[in-house]
Amino acid sequence: MKWPGIRGQLTGWYSIILALSLAAFCCVAYFAMEYAIHETVEAELRQHAEGARDIIEQDGPEGRQALMDELREFADGLGSEGRIRVADSNGLLYASPGFIDPFQPRRGFHPWHQSIGGQSFLILRQNVEVANVTYDLTLAEETENFDRTLTRASFLIFVAAPLFLALAALGGYWMSRRALDPVDQMTRAARDIGAQDLAKRLSVPPTRDELARLAETLNAMLARLEAAFRKVTQFTADASHELRTPVAVMRTSAELALRKPRTEDEYRETLSQILRETDRVSHLIENLLALARADSGAAELPMERADFAAILSSACEKAQFLAEEKGVTLHDNGTATPVWAQMNAPSIERLFLIVLDNAVKYTSRGGSVDVSLATDNGFAVATFRDTGIGISQQDAAHIFDRFYRADRARTRDPGGSGLGLAIGQWIAQAHGGEIRVNSEPSKGSAFIVRIPASGG
């Protein structure tokens, strides 16, 4: 069975709530009307009873005939709907036509309903004591007109209420359809957006309501999806580009070596070249796997308390031979005082080596790289300042993007895959820290790594 849509559900709930409210209102209105009518008739009946009592008390001592004459005159004033019957111990004194006997001997303060001669009456029967004589007083008020009014009211309720409910349900359906039209439009627009046209956006309704906020939220989500899809596409293209070159070199070297017999030294040189390219590909694949695990959230780093200063000093020692080979002076200005932090020590050391390798790589022979360590507001701050070629402001905004290189030709010199700084940024963020760069072209660069410290 197909479940009704939001429009049908809204209309259904609206109709149910309206039906319950209408039923409650009609019941309250009907019983309130019935109660008001009954109270009105009863009040009139008691008023007549008071009048009859006054007549009996005033004219009873004057004799039966005088009392009968007064009761007859009183009955004429009751109108066509009123009835009266008075009797004493000697028999009937007066009775309205058709009202000889009420057939029920009950007496008391409260009136009751009874049908007499095919007509409905509200009857009140009381005893009146005057001069040691007991009078049986019975008064009645015909309720046919009031009953007819209640019947008409109930008919109106049972006919008009369902009609009103049906009209209200149709109106509610129309309003819900009108209110949800923007949602239908957004649904159709979202259905038309595919992987090739993620730049499309949903139209935002001019009203600043929930639907407008929904459209804005979906547009923001589409913008994030577009950016992520673009990054994935660029990542795939760059990875293919980076892998294609070493694979082509290995293939070409092997083909050339197999075209004709070679000397042992030539075969050895070819194998050495293939091995170098294999190492390059292995390093690239390891970096790609590290970033893939980071993106999926599977690369959780086990943390332990370690000395930030000692790890920085170890990284500088390992990078020293790179600096000497390049002819660059590396100054380790770190501190001998321990700077403790919760960290994954191998990852932090890898981060430092990535930054040091990058600084040495882009610093000309005769230049220098200065490393310093300080603490700032609960953070351990390592600064790597070089005298290299520097980075333009435009390139600095993308230097931590994957496969990004400041040289637009994206040549392989001076080496690397363009993933190092991206991995370094992930390591810093995984520790609750950050890495940023301050640089100017031809004036060198300063990479700053901030990691939360945990005290001594």
pLDDT tens readout for residues 429-442: 888 999 999 988 88
Q: Which residue has the higher pLDDT, 281 or 95?
A: 95
Does one domain contain both 405 and 358? Answer: yes
pLDDT at 123: 84
How far apart (Å, rounded) are the C-alpha atoms in residues 452 and 381?
A: 9
Does one domain contain both 280 and 365? no
| Rounded CA separation 288/275 (Å) | 20
Asked whether residue 348 falls in the same domain as residue 431, the answer is yes
pLDDT score of 321 more than 80: yes
Domain span including residue 281: 210-296
Interval 15-55: pLDDT, tens = 888 888 888 888 888 888 888 888 888 888 888 888 888 88
pLDDT of residue 455: 60
Question: Is residue 112 domain-resident?
Answer: yes
Give the least confident one: 103-117, 319-333, 348-362: 103-117
pLDDT at 451: 92
Nearest one of 415, 404, 411, 397 to 357, comparing CA atoms: 415
State the pLDDT at residue 327. 92
Check whether 448 has a pLDDT greater than 90: yes
How is the beta sheet containing 434-439 ordered, strand by strand?
329-333, 368-376, 379-386, 445-452, 434-439
CATH number of residue 142's parent domain: 3.30.450.20
Our CA dihedral for 228, 232, 234, 235, rounded to 10 degrees, sits at 130
The candidate with the shortest Cα–Cα distance to 231, out of 402, 396, 399, is 402
Domain-located, residue 194: no
Count structural domains, the chain: 3
Q: Is residue 18 part of a domain?
A: yes
pLDDT, tens digit (0-9, with 9 covering 90-100), for 226-257: 777 776 776 666 667 566 767 777 788 788 77
User: Looking at the structure, do residues 312 and 435 belong to the same domain, yes or no?
Assistant: yes
- Whether 184 is covered by a domain: the verdict is no
Looking at the structure, do residues 446 and 372 belong to the same domain, yes or no? yes
The reported pLDDT for the residue numbered 310 is 92
Based on the domain organization, do 376 and 272 belong to the same domain?
A: no
The answer to whether residue 7 scores a pLDDT higher than 80 is no
**Predicted local distance difference test score (pLDDT) of residue 360:** 92
The overall average pLDDT reported for the chain is 79
Last residue of a domain, which of 154, 171, 196? Answer: 154
pLDDT band (50, 70, 90) for residue 4: low
Question: Measured between alpha carbons, how far is 198 from 266 in angstroms, rounded to an integer?
Answer: 53
- Give me the pLDDT at residue 108, please: 57
Provide the pLDDT for residue 410.
37
Q: Which of 156-160, 177-181, 254-258, 309-313 has the lowest mean pLDDT?
A: 177-181
- Considering the domain architecture, whether residues 22 and 128 belong to the same structural domain is answered as yes
- Domain shared by 320 and 393, yes or no: yes
CA distances from 37 to 40, 148, 250 (A): 5, 11, 106
**For residue 410, what is the DSSP state?**
-
Q: Can you give the pLDDT at residue 446?
A: 93
Residues 291 and 312 both lie in one domain: no
Task: Choose between 129 and 14: higher pLDDT.
Answer: 129
Q: What 3-state class would DSSP assign to 124?
A: strand
- Under 8 Å between Cβ of 252 and 383: no
Average pLDDT over residues 106-114: 69
Q: For the domain that residue 443 is a member of, what is the CATH number?
A: 3.30.565.10
Q: Is 190 inside a domain boundary?
A: no
62-89 per-position pLDDT tens digit: 887 888 888 888 887 877 778 888 888 7
The last residue of one of the domains, among 296, 315, 332, is 296
Within-domain flag for 160? no
Q: Which residue has the tokens 């009592």?
A: 53
User: Which CATH number goes with the domain that contains 274?
Assistant: 1.10.287.130
Which pLDDT band, with edges at 50, 70 and 90, does 408 fall under?
very low
In this structure, the answer to whether residues 70 and 150 fall within a common structural domain is yes
pLDDT at residue 447 in the model: 94
Q: According to the model, what pLDDT value does residue 2 have? A: 52
Q: Is residue 97 part of a domain?
A: yes
Asked whether residue 204 carries a pLDDT value surpassing 50, the answer given is yes
Q: Is residue 413 scored above 80 in pLDDT?
A: no
- Same domain? For 310 and 355 the reply is yes
| Domain termination site, one of 133, 154, 175 | 154
Q: What pLDDT is attached to residue 412?
A: 42
Residues 19 and 145 in one domain: yes
% of residues, the chain, pLDDT over 90: 12
The reply to whether 202 falls in a domain is no
Cis bond before residue 414 (omega within 30° of 0) = yes
Nearest-angstrom CA–CA distance, 41 and 78 = 13
Find residue 330's DSSP bridge partners.
369
pTM: 0.50
